[in-house]
Amino acid sequence: MVDADRTFVIVGGGLAGAKAAETLRSEGFNGRVILIGDEREHPYERPPLSKGFLAGKEERDSVFVHEPAWYAQNDIELHLGQIVTTIDRGAKTVRLGDGTVIQYDRLLLATGAEPRRLDIPGTDLAGVHHLRRLAHSERLKHVLKALGRDNGHLVISGAGWIGLEVAAAARGYGAEVTVVEPEATPLHNVIGPELGQLFADLHAEHGVRFHFGVRLTEIVGQDGMVLAARTDDGEEHPAHDVLAAIGAAPRTSLAENAGLAMADRAHGGGIAVDASLRTSDPDIFAAGDVAAVHHPLLGTRLRVEHWANALNGGPAAARAKLDQDVSYDRVPYFFSDQYDLGLEYSGWAPPGSYDQVVIRGDTGKREFIAFWLKERRVLAGMNVNVWDVTEPIQALIRGGAQVDTEALADPAVALGSLAP
């Protein structure tokens, strides 16, 4: 029986919001739980949109967090296809786009992020794509199949994780692919130049063409359709479709308009939250891509746009809403699949934060672990086609102790023996 005296509202119908709702019930909360999502789809996970589902290896139904019937069975009130237009913190209400006003006792913002747009001529053409939502992935999947069938060309702006995963899927369908990237290597802002070339080589072996050190300046079309993409060095690349994969921006306008504190751009923007995922309003929490957490382990404010952060952050925020003692100090984690290469990355080591990269294994065979270190302390680790090592890698990061780099590089030395 639901106790209508207390109402917890969740704004955001993605993984973080769905897992928060699940956790509220599993932790014994018997008040009203209202989940509001601006898509008509039930909450789903995003990794398949650029991986298995896009590549045709997973069915559509596999992306959903719960079966549709689960929400009614657990007394989760769904408002799908609805936007929240305003938060009235004084009255503790949210207003929906259809005018409905909902009272809350505690509120969770899990509004996610949205793809950054190309600010160049030609982005209004029919063949220009972004990838964030299930509908985007479904459309792009049909496009890639058609390009493969007709020997068509896809130009991707951005050699980050999304750009590379879509490139791999496109080549799987037989499409011609050109990736345009302003940095000198793929994934520069995540893994630096030391490992970026490995991914350039991987994709080149599968027929992807790269154009580094340039940006798109114009998408050329005729009769509303894409014909080519031009770069700032004067080159023109044939294209039937263009994907903008230049990152994502946190969806903060609702929180900003409500007067909640924001993180600065140096920390990735987003809604500023403490280690318990509480915002500057004690009755409002934030989780997932939109939340910039003061991270107890890393000692900095950090906004993470990955599946594991939504998976774990939603439940952590739900427990904090229930006044449980929460300190969200998860080691950042993500994974990627490209062709026959699978990887997991743990930690946080942007370019400039480390002074050494140590390799354990064989990069030539693409079976290795890379470690990013600062003063012999492990900041991050990436295992490539090497499995069941996430736990010891994260233990090294958490331990924060100086390590013997020769032992770290030696596959004969157990990783677990190096952690303090």
pLDDT digits (tens, 9 = 90+) for 306-322: 999 999 999 999 999 99
273 and 314 Cβ atoms separated by less than 8 Å: no
Handedness of CA 297, 298, 302, 304 (dihedral sign): negative
Burial 150-181 (b: 16+ CB within 10 A, else e): eebbbbbbbbbbbbbbbbbbbbbbebbbbbbb
φ, ψ for residue 214 (rounded to 5)?
Answer: -140, 165
In CATH terms, are 128-246 and 340-417 the same topology?
Answer: no
**Percent of the chain scoring above 70 in pLDDT:** 100
* Superfamily grouping for domain 128-246: FAD/NAD(P)-binding domain (3.50.50.60)
| Mean model confidence pLDDT for the chain | 96
Q: What is the pLDDT of residues 324-367, one digit of tens each?
A: 999 999 999 999 999 999 999 999 998 889 999 999 999 999 99
- pLDDT digits 0-9 by tens, 132-149: 999 999 999 999 999 999
Confidence of residue 72 (pLDDT cuts 50, 70, 90): very high
Q: Tell me what percent of the residues of the chain surpass a pLDDT of 90.
A: 94
Look up residue 207 and give its two tokens. Answer: 């027929």
Per-residue tokens: 46: 């995003």
- Phi and psi torsions of 134, nearest 5°: -60, -40
As its CATH architecture, domain 340-417 has 2-Layer Sandwich (3.30)
Tell me what pLDDT residue 351 has. Answer: 85
Q: Does the pLDDT value for residue 296 go beyond 80?
A: yes
Residue 66: CB atoms within 10 A of its CB come to 17
Instruction: Round to whole Å and give the CA distance between 47 and 58.
Output: 11
* Residues across the chain: 420
Q: Which fold has domain 3-114+249-321?
A: FAD/NAD(P)-binding domain (3.50.50)
pLDDT of 268 > 90? The answer is: no
Domain boundaries, the chain: 3-114+249-321, 128-246, 340-417
Q: Return the structure tokens found at 347.
A: 């930690």
pLDDT of residue 4: 79
408: confidence class by pLDDT, cuts 50, 70, 90: very high
**Residue bearing tokens 């019937």:** 69
Burial call 106-115: b when 16+ CB within 10 Å, e when fewer: bbbbbbbbeb
Whole-number pLDDT of residue 1: 67
Write out the two tokens for 373: 């270190």
Smallest CA-to-CA distance from 378 within 411, 420, 340, 319 is with: 420
What pLDDT was estimated at residue 39? 97
Q: State the pLDDT at residue 2.
A: 75
**Least confident interval from 100-109, 131-140, 300-309:** 300-309
- Rounded mean pLDDT, 22-43: 97
Q: Read off the pLDDT band of 299 (50, 70, 90).
A: confident
Tens digits of per-residue pLDDT, 235-258?
Answer: 999 999 999 999 999 999 999 999
Q: Summarize pLDDT for 204-225 with one digit per residue, the tens.
A: 999 999 999 999 999 999 999 9
